[in-house]
Amino acid sequence: MSVRLYGRALGHGSLSVVTSGFREVLEGAGLLEGFVALDKSGGDEEQDSPPGALARDGVFTGNLNLVPVMRRGARHERHWVQVTPNSTHIPRNLLAAVMDLPNLRILSASQWGTTMIGSALAEMGLRYIEDGNVWCTYAAPGKTVEIHTMGHGVSGFAPVLEELATARADFARGEFRVIHFSTTDGERKGTLELVQAWQMLEKVLPCRPELLLVLDHHAHAALQQRMLDLEIVLPSSARILPRGDMDAAAMSRVLCRMHLVAAPSRGEGFHLGVLESRACGVPVACTTTTGLSAGHAEGPGVVSIRQSDKLRPIDDGPGAMAPPLYPADIVESIAFAFSNWTELSFGAEESAPDVAREWSWQSQLAPLVERLRA
């Protein structure tokens, strides 16, 4: 019983965090024989047979376009590949490359994602066979594919008490800081709608509100262009900050200084940021559709942003659809969060240890470990 893991090793972006979580669990279970850092070398290795090349199981947590690396100098009996759709669209060319792997097991971060993947497989000619405890099976002549549903996890994020105390003191003085993160130039994070909502909010909130938009270069450029197209000016109480590269401890301090994390996403594979914020005891305003329906976006300290269940086009690929998002619904949720902030803050802090325990990587990946041992 041995496993070779393929994934990102650098930085603290979502794919790196997922890879780190898998690595932590596989090493703790004594299953990890080797690791290929896709972002260091594109999968190339100096040795002909690096550690784990002959491991029975290959587990892949990187970009799907690098899936062929699993066949480069390696011979695995079973292949486990993470697929996390953000909308109804799954690139068929990338999925086809995954489908070429023998004894394929697809890992999905939510039941919604599993449904989307299953629909794609059905369109490709595979037939639904059966449900297991955490997996379902599709088959075509000479091919059987399992889809395993298991959420992502959280590790290292926790309440920083002095920062939470500072946030509460600042709120008592009339301050209200809302933070939002985006690393994509696509529409799905709801950044533009959040800016439109903030134009209304800064006029009606009885405080000194501040919106912090933490964006990488692509997200920043896309937002600027969309605002220009609509002749929208960034509200005076909003600031755009470059995305940093902080570990869990440093990010915990940043989050705990905030009064609210805004995640008005139209589409998500999972959204680790919402889970990490909850593990820190910080209130969150978020949508609860697509991958955010996995269960981590509900509970004490969470304010839901209403969305219609009728799908609308989104720029996530040809024919992609996702629930629509309206600024007025963001306004309603953030205004509610402000009016009830003290209760939300203490509720979020009290529930943080339970969130971290329930959504630990060890807990979420326990079914995978069991299957890898079989």
Residues in the chain with pLDDT < 70? Answer: 1, 41-49
pLDDT of res. 39: 86
| pTM for the full predicted model | 0.95
Other Cβ atoms closer than 10 A to 19: 26
Contacts of 225 (CB under 8 A, 6+ apart): none
Contact indicator for 117, 90 with CB cutoff of 8 Å: yes
* pLDDT on residue 48: 43
**Do 196 and 97 share a structural domain?**
no
pLDDT at residue 49, rounded to an integer: 53
In this structure, are 179 and 311 located in the same domain?
Answer: yes
Q: What local confidence, expressed as pLDDT, does residue 41 receive?
A: 57
Contact status, residue 45 vs residue 75, Cβ threshold 8 Å: no
Percent of all residues in the chain with a pLDDT value above 90, rounded to a whole number: 87
Same domain? For 145 and 216 the reply is no
Domain range for 228: 161-358
Nearest to 113 by CA among 360, 305, 293: 293
What span, in angstroms and rounded, lies between the C-alpha atoms of 54 and 63? 22
Residue of 159, 201, 203, 206 lying closest to 180 (CA atoms): 201
Tally of structural domains, the chain:
2
H or E, element range at 239: strand 238-242
- Specify whether 274 is located in the same domain as 352: yes
pLDDT score of 146: 95
Q: How far is 204 from 272, CA to CA, in rounded Å?
A: 31
Residues 177 and 323 in one domain: yes
Tell me what pLDDT residue 25 has: 98
